[in-house]
Amino acid sequence: MKAVIITIGDEILIGQIVDTNSAFIAKSLDRIGVEISEMISISDDKNQILNTFSELQNKVDIVIITGGLGPTKDDVTKKTFCEYFNDELVVNPEVLAHVTHLIEGYFKRPITQMNKDQALVPSTCTILHNQVGTAPGMWMKKENTVFVSLPGVPYEMKYLVEEEIIPKIVREYKRPYIIHKTILTYGQGESLVAERIENWENNLPDFIKLAYLPNPGRVRLRLTARGTDKEELEKAIEDNVKFLDAIIHDIIVGYEENETIETVIGKLLSKQNKTISTAESCTGGRIASLLSAVPGSSGYFKGSVVSYATETKVNVLGISQNLIDQFSVVSAEVASAMALNVKSLLKTDYALATTGNAGPSKGDSDAEIGTVFIALATPNGIITEQFNFGQPREKVIDRATIKSLEILQKEILKIV
């Protein structure tokens, strides 16, 4: 079963908002064995919508559209649906009752004609009831292709996908199984990882595909198996992951999409009942942001001092001005002092610190642009390492952040 996802809205095409709807829909469909063949963004233009529908007709099983269902004149999806299906808009009593209840009962204001118009739907469509908003979803079939229209508001779209679309597809369509397994590696680049696992990759079964998903300092390896026997697919994935683990065990830090390195670190710290704090200069709070984004992180992450300016290092972290004058603000000595001082300040078991020249100018140090010092204070002492992550600036910050977490994870694992 193949699907195409269409997002409608000029705000997406001009970069005013980021299309997160397509990613959510794609993941939801993939979990039930629906293959996404294409994602398309188009403008709020009748002819553009009609042409896109015509091009997809009978080429895929289902087309899911988000956006263009609002009450204002620039939202043209419903009228365009009617034209494509040679239908007309009629008032749906159930939708009207829901919209009235929402506006008058919840928002406590009189319902307007514009609100009432949300209950206008093509006469032959199957209504997907939107309990969290005013715009209903619409399910219509023409020849061999189903067209589903959803509101563009993310939480409304998610509700309809989870509560209406996925259950309906599962009930009405026979689908193959698609099994994914994502292996998270840190510390080696894509080409080096590929060299190490080349023989393993060449011996994968034909129904298992490998994709490399590289980011600065990390590579995700995604295995995808497709077939009709779910148990066979799961066993094949499991067996091949075991073989892979034996080859690159030293760089594997977790599995699946949610097992990021910060998630793995959180589990390790929780298991050991240990805590962490950070003192960040060149990374500007990026490490703290990743650590604190993990659910339950308040149990082990105690806080951060973003000591971006030199005076903050002195006045807040208590770094000696003499130490800075002697060794420079970008130095192993200052990084070590930052880690030790924030560890003492916030009373944690571990503390990470970064200081460096991310660029484009050198700031308060003569150190070469791209130079970063990372320090980790542990229950047993201090570890400090020097790196040069090159340029541009964002690359330096990303790599310093990931390398810091990698150093922390490896150190925690020593006492597991």
Q: Tokens standing for 320?
A: 């000696």
Strand partners, 139: 126, 148
Asked whether this chain's domains 2-172 and 177-255 adopt the same fold, the reply is: no
pLDDT at 24 over 70: yes
Interval 315-332 mean pLDDT: 95
Query: Tell me, what's the pLDDT at 243?
Result: 96
Interval 372-391 mean pLDDT: 94
Residue 176, classed as helix, strand or coil, is coil
**Segment 79-83 long-range contacts (CB within 8 Å, at least 24 positions apart):** 79/46, 80/46, 80/49, 80/50, 81/122, 81/125, 81/138, 81/140, 81/147, 81/149, 82/122, 83/46, 83/50
- Residue 73 burial (CB count, 10 A): 8
Contact between residue 85 and residue 126 where contact means Cβ atoms under 8 Å apart: no
- Pairing verdict, β 62-66 and 381-388: unpaired
Class of domain 177-255: alpha beta
pLDDT at 212 over 80: yes
Q: Please, how many CA atoms are within 13 Å of residue 184, restricted to the half-sphere of its CB? A: 16
pLDDT at 331 over 90: yes
Nearest-10 Cα torsion for 211, 387, 404, 373: -160
Q: Domain 2-172, CATH 2.30.130.10 — does that match? A: no
Where are the domains positioned within the chain? 2-172, 177-255, 261-413
Report how far residue 234's alpha carbon sits from residue 325's, in angstroms, rounded to the nearest whole number.
Answer: 59
Strand partners, 148: 64, 139
Amino acid in position 393: R
- Pairing verdict, β 208-215 and 218-227: antiparallel
DSSP-derived letter for residue 297 is G
Report how far residue 330's alpha carbon sits from residue 317's, in angstroms, rounded to the nearest whole number.
Answer: 15
Query: Tell me, what's the pLDDT at 258?
Result: 56
**Residue 376 neighbours by CB under 8 Å, 6+ apart:** 339, 350, 351, 352, 353, 382, 383, 384, 404, 407, 408, 411
Query: Tell me, what's the pLDDT at 393?
Result: 87
Contact between residue 202 and residue 244 where contact means Cβ atoms under 8 Å apart: no
pLDDT at 68 over 70: yes
Give the confidence band of 12 by pLDDT, cuts at 50, 70, 90. confident
DSSP-derived letter for residue 136 is P
Report how far residue 9's alpha carbon sits from residue 42's, in angstroms, rounded to the nearest whole number.
Answer: 6
Residue that the structure tokens 């794609």 belong to: 26
DSSP-derived letter for residue 313 is H
Mean pLDDT for all residues in the chain: 91
Of residues 415, 264, 290, the one with CA closest to residue 352: 290
Interval 46-57 mean pLDDT: 95
Report how far residue 165's alpha carbon sits from residue 146's, in angstroms, rounded to the nearest whole number.
Answer: 11
- DSSP alpha helices (H): ranges in 306-368? 310-315, 321-327, 332-346
Query: Tell me, what's the pLDDT at 362?
Result: 64
Contact between residue 164 and residue 137 where contact means Cβ atoms under 8 Å apart: yes
CATH topology of domain 261-413: Maf protein (3.90.950)
pTM of the model: 0.65
Degrees to nearest 5, angle at CA 392 with 389 and 394: 85
Report how far residue 156's alpha carbon sits from residue 164's, in angstroms, rounded to the nearest whole number.
Answer: 11
pLDDT (tens digit, 9 = 90+) per residue, 236-294?
Answer: 999 999 999 999 988 887 776 656 889 989 999 999 999 999 999 999 999 999 999 99
Degrees to nearest 5, angle at CA 382 with 378 and 383: 105
